[in-house]
Chain A
Amino acid sequence: MVDRNMKFAQRLLLLAIAGVLSLVVSGGAIAQSESFTIIAERAVMPDGTLRANVAVEVRGGKIERVVDADRISANANVIRLPKGAVLSPGLIDLASSLGVEGSQVEDTKTIDPAVEIREGFDPRAPVLRRALEAGVTAAMLIPAPANIVSGQTFTVRTHPSSAVNGASSLLINVSSGAFDFQQGPTSRAGLLFELRNALKDAKAQPANVKTPMTLAVRGEMPVVIACGTVEEVDSALMLIAEYGLDATLAISDAAIEMVDDLAEAEVPLIYGPLDFNSSRRSLVLPGMLASKGATLGFIGDLPAREPESLRTTAALAVRNGLDAAAARRALTSDAARIAGADDTIGAIREGLSADFVVFSDDPLRLDATVLEVHVAGQRVYAAPHDTHDFGGGAP
């Protein structure tokens, strides 16, 4: 780990130097100026499709306008992306623990809505830099779902200079992961009994009481419900209906038995990661859900896995039936909505922050590489031109 961190630090330093040099040499005015336009052969649109010849005007770190490239006058402050490159919003990992060191489990109480994962977040953690360079510009951090109510999620950028002001969600867990043989519950019935009591109590509170639980039962604070088995998905859907929760479900491949129910409930879903050893039913599930109209976001399981895990999950889902546009949405705009940050990030759309990733090709293609990363209109990463020199092999 230390070695890797050192490597990142070195690379960061090199990049910083390279960045300064390039600014000096090639007129840094473009990268630094308040207002500029990026022209791309192809760009990922909010609906997940690839649009050709797009010009994105950026002012003060925000996207001012998205227009056809031929409408841009020749004298505008223009950055033209390399041939074949695709301009994409930054990718978003849902259910991440990026930058949260140590345990994310607070197991002194089984219902603990006050725990805020943001308090455990280190914006300088080197894993964030690695994620950023792989095009993952934001992540929804979640407390480990070890309790019935484990606390609040928090959506962060992976670039330390700016945090996303996304709203938190409350993390509820109806799976057996919340069983606790010391404090209880030890069964699903017991778990639901305790959870319902807590939700009922919250509902009975007067309107001026604003706790995470009361906000949740009033539909003013979103919740993420972790559910594994078919029965747990069923319980989650029941609770959503009973209490009118603004919920997202974190599901497993067992949900394949509940595809119609999930689509009908119109609940956004978070799912993943997929890898090269995933079972067929895991692989086909996203395609089945999306074809019924469900909204999806992906879990890349960062930093336990490499950040490429997020795009690999999307590519595997696409190869196994998920529509390509739905997959790109699941990586960007739909993920932003689930993370409660769609008013700031997740799409190339007027008014949102200029957080971009320049890929050498369609981000769904695993041989596409990250060429550049921009956060709030600033280029924070550019791939080295010579990726071949790693200095290895000194005899």
Chain B
Amino acid sequence: MCKTIESPNRLLARRMSGPAAAMACAASLLLAGGADAQLFRPAPTVIENARLITMDGEVIENGSLLILNGRIQRVASGSITAERATKIDAQGMTISPGLIDAWGTLAFVARTSGGNPTERASDAFNGYDMDAITEAWRNGVTAVYLPSIGTPGVNGTGSVMRLDVDRKYNRVGAVAKDEAALHIDLGSSLPPVRRISNYQSVRERLKNAIEYRNARELYFEEELVEYEKKIKERAEKEKKDAEKKEGEKPAPGNMQDGGQPQQGGQQPKEEEIKKPNEPAINRQNEVLLKVIDRELPVRIAADRAEDILNALALKEEFGLTMTIEGGAEAHLVARQLAKAKVPVVLGSMVEDGRDRDAYRGLLEENAAALEAAGVDWTIGSGGPSAFVLFNAQLAASSARGLDSLALVTSHAADLLGLSDHGRLAPGKQADIVFWSGDPRDPASRVERVFMNGQMVFERAKDQGGSQP
């Protein structure tokens, strides 16, 4: 391992897979202009003879991709020549960006205990759950936004995981974005009274966080300053007094008589200057303050229209940056969502035993209504991620003219703020999927998945079991 790398993001560096780290090392050597650099310089990969669905508005029928250091360098029609390149013949297969599940519980260990904003969803990802991860690859999924699921109310923060192989620990999972958003569940499945109290408790927590900050500010900006001022004043006074004493010393005649009144005068001044108590650091409130300062967005789980309106009221009251998650009744308040510019991540379109009658309206209509109102939206699986494209197809079917594939690639990346994902374009991460045909045709199969430019899944070697 090269020890000279100083990554700004240590977590990422730690999770960087062996070969990738080696490549980064080699790259740094190259930059350093070492004589041996040529030896270590990573060779590019050229994938040719592919139908490229770039998601940048065009499909390149006979195209090529140049990949270097895990990133797409070039996208071109025809072939690309590059020195020392490893060539891969895609044999006419279709290549798309890896699918992104904007809301999934893939390889998710468990719900958290809830109520604790410092909990991170990435810690609940089980990188050894190869059954679930292989199933996701098998269906072209390469990244998932994991929510923090706990109890109704404030939960932890969500994370985006890339399904890259961590060769050092022989597991899967690279954090693409940690602490992506704070999760607040408005408890749409709760009975009405509890939903109201839940909403109030969320407001209380945010208010408490503000009070906590006010108390800390009061302490540091006033109480502590006051205290320091007093200490300083006394110190100065003592110094003065001492100097005075010093000055008085040469007059020994006064020593016996004058000593008494002087001491008696000093005693009342020696009252204790009490140090104010510092309000203890509260890490949970610190996270909530990031939310209030808009450094951290919130994801609000809300299905009922009235809960969505409550969410919008929270946004108003506390000035939050917000996304709605679930949104089964979002179509009923589509205009308000559009006006507040709040995006929505819809959940699965096919229910599995959930009592749908509890919510009004059909989910399929939901997508169309959001689209018509101009709400920024996409759809997540709300489950194990593998079939998120099917979810998107069902959603797109009701809002005609929408591209289901865009919903789970470019658009999901945009909505999640993953600027280097979701498209086949220079600079994007080479997380790509080879399909036997159009991804939207269920008869098409995922033939290969490349993460970071390296193959992690190949159908020809897929035993249907749990090995990557």
Q: Measuring CB to CB, which residues of chain A are less than 8 angstroms from any residue of chain B?
A: 1, 3-4, 7, 275-277, 280, 284, 305-306, 308-309, 312, 314-316, 318-319, 324, 362, 364-369, 387-390, 392-395
B369, A390: Cβ atoms under 8 Å? yes
Report Cα–Cα, A1/B399, bound state, in Å: 24
Instruction: Confirm or deny: B348 has a beta carbon within 8 angstroms of a beta carbon on chain A.
Output: yes
Type the 1/0 row for B330-347, where 1 means its CB is closer than 8 Å to any CB of A. 011111111000000000
Q: Which residue of A lies closest to B371 (CB)?
A: A388
The residues of A that contact B443 with a CB separation of less than 8 Å are 318-319, 324, 364
Q: From the candidates B131, B336, B360, B391, name the one contacting A276 in the complex (CB within 8 A).
A: B391
Q: From the candidates B139, B350, B372, name the one contacting A308 in the complex (CB within 8 A).
A: B350
Report Cα–Cα, A319/B436, bound state, in Å: 12
B365, A390: Cβ atoms under 8 Å? yes
For residues 152 through 195 of chain B, which have their beta carbon under 8 Å from a beta carbon of chain A? none
Q: From the candidates A277, A280, A312, A315, name the one contacting B383 in the complex (CB within 8 A).
A: A277
Given A366-B393, A388-B369, A392-B369, verify A276-B350 contact (CB < 8 Å): yes
Type the 1/0 row for B275-301, where 1 means its CB is closer than 8 Å to any CB of A. 000000000000000000000000000
Q: Which residue of A lies closest to B392 (CB)?
A: A367
The residues of A that contact B331 with a CB separation of less than 8 Å are 390, 392-393
Closest chain B CB from A327 CB (angstroms) = 8
Q: Which residue of B lies closest to A390 (CB)?
A: B369
Instruction: Confirm or deny: B464 has a beta carbon within 8 angstroms of a beta carbon on chain A.
Output: yes
Report Cα–Cα, A308/B348, bound state, in Å: 13
A390, B350: Cβ atoms under 8 Å? no
Report Cα–Cα, A387/B441, bound state, in Å: 23
Report Cα–Cα, A124/B177, bound state, in Å: 52
A388, B390: Cβ atoms under 8 Å? no
Instruction: Confirm or deny: B57 has a beta carbon within 8 angstroms of a beta carbon on chain A.
Output: no
The residues of B that contact A314 with a CB separation of less than 8 Å are 442
Task: Give 20 new A-B contacts, CB below 8 A, not counting A318-B442, A366-B442.
Answer: A1-B357, A4-B361, A276-B387, A277-B383, A309-B350, A312-B390, A314-B442, A315-B442, A318-B443, A367-B393, A369-B397, A387-B399, A390-B334, A390-B369, A392-B334, A392-B361, A393-B335, A393-B338, A393-B369, A393-B373
The residues of B that contact A276 with a CB separation of less than 8 Å are 348, 350, 352, 381, 383-384, 386-387, 390-391
Instruction: Confirm or deny: B351 has a beta carbon within 8 angstroms of a beta carbon on chain A.
Output: yes
Instruction: Confirm or deny: B60 has a beta carbon within 8 angstroms of a beta carbon on chain A.
Output: no
B350, A362: Cβ atoms under 8 Å? no
Q: Which residue of B lies closest to A366 (CB)?
A: B393
Q: Which residue of A lies closest to B387 (CB)?
A: A276
Name the prevailing secondary structure of the B interface residues: helix
Report Cα–Cα, A186/B383, bound state, in Å: 37
Report Cα–Cα, A277/B394, bound state, in Å: 16
Q: From the candidates B135, B338, B349, name the one contacting A280 in the complex (CB within 8 A).
A: B135
The residues of B that contact A388 with a CB separation of less than 8 Å are 368-369, 371-372, 399
Q: From the candidates B333, B397, B404, name the one contacting A392 in the complex (CB within 8 A).
A: B333
The residues of B that contact A3 with a CB separation of less than 8 Å are 360-361
Instruction: Confirm or deny: B269 has a beta carbon within 8 angstroms of a beta carbon on chain A.
Output: no
The residues of A that contact B363 with a CB separation of less than 8 Å are 306
Instruction: Confirm or deny: B76 has a beta carbon within 8 angstroms of a beta carbon on chain A.
Output: no
Given A275-B352, A276-B350, A276-B390, verify A365-B442 contact (CB < 8 Å): yes
B351, A367: Cβ atoms under 8 Å? no
The residues of B that contact A392 with a CB separation of less than 8 Å are 331-335, 361, 369, 373
Closest chain B CB from A65 CB (angstroms) = 30
Closest chain A CB from B343 CB (angstroms) = 16
Report Cα–Cα, A367/B398, bound state, in Å: 8
Q: From the candidates A4, A305, A367, A395, name the one contacting B394 in the complex (CB within 8 A).
A: A367
Instruction: Confirm or deny: B364 has a beta carbon within 8 angstroms of a beta carbon on chain A.
Output: yes
The residues of A that contact B368 with a CB separation of less than 8 Å are 387-388, 390
For residues 126 through 151 of chain B, which have their beta carbon under 8 Å from a beta carbon of chain A? 131, 135, 139
Q: From the candidates B337, B338, B356, B384, name the one contacting A277 in the complex (CB within 8 A).
A: B384
For residues 422 through 455 of chain B, which have their beta carbon under 8 Å from a beta carbon of chain A? 440-443, 445
For residues 357 through 411 of chain B, which have their beta carbon under 8 Å from a beta carbon of chain A? 357, 360-365, 368-369, 371-373, 381, 383-384, 386-387, 390-391, 393-394, 396-400, 404
A319, B334: Cβ atoms under 8 Å? no
The residues of B that contact A275 with a CB separation of less than 8 Å are 350, 352
The residues of B that contact A394 with a CB separation of less than 8 Å are 335
For residues 248 through 264 of chain B, which have their beta carbon under 8 Å from a beta carbon of chain A? none
Report Cα–Cα, A284/B445, bound state, in Å: 13
The residues of A that contact B361 with a CB separation of less than 8 Å are 3-4, 7, 392
A390, B372: Cβ atoms under 8 Å? yes
The residues of B that contact A395 with a CB separation of less than 8 Å are 335-336
23 A-B pairs, CB-CB below 8 angstroms? A7-B361, A276-B381, A276-B383, A277-B384, A306-B349, A318-B443, A319-B387, A319-B390, A319-B442, A324-B443, A364-B443, A366-B394, A366-B404, A366-B442, A367-B393, A367-B440, A368-B397, A388-B369, A390-B369, A390-B372, A392-B373, A393-B333, A393-B369
